[in-house]
Amino acid sequence: MKQKSEEYFPQPADTSDICLPEELEHLVEQLARNVHEVWASSRIAQGWTWGPVRSDEFKTHPSLVPYEELPEEEKQYDRDTAVGTLKLIMKLGFNISK
């Protein structure tokens, strides 16, 4: 097993100066849904199934349901990931257009 040589201090890019345009709100929800779908697909491929509680031993997870059935706090986690990604794209100087 690889030993850690020093403590890890996450340093996400500061995107606090980036404001997402209102027209990207629909994109945020689509990305959030896809984030969940990618996560769920990966878990299922690893042998996980739905269960009322998360169990690493039995590979069950209560969030292995369609995005629409997730509790709002889980959806918000996925939305935050989507917003963070979009803000970083804009911070790096890329334009998002349809």
Over residues 15-50, the pLDDT tens digits come to 999 999 999 989 999 999 999 999 999 999 999 999
Confidence of residue 97 (pLDDT cuts 50, 70, 90): confident
pLDDT level of residue 2 (50, 70, 90 thresholds): low
Task: Give me the chain's average pLDDT, please.
Answer: 94
Residue 63 has pLDDT above 80, yes or no: yes
Q: Residue 41 CB: number of other CB atoms within 10 A?
A: 10
What is the pLDDT, as a whole number, of residue 67? Answer: 98
Task: Look at residue 98 in the predicted model and tell me its pLDDT.
Answer: 82
Distance CA 48, CA 78 (A): 20
58: three-class secondary structure by DSSP: coil
**5 band by pLDDT with thresholds 50, 70 and 90:** low
Integer Cα distance of 16 and 91 in angstroms: 10
Q: What percent of the chain has pLDDT over 70?
A: 95
Domain ranges of the chain: 32-91
E strands, 1-98, are 49-50, 60-61
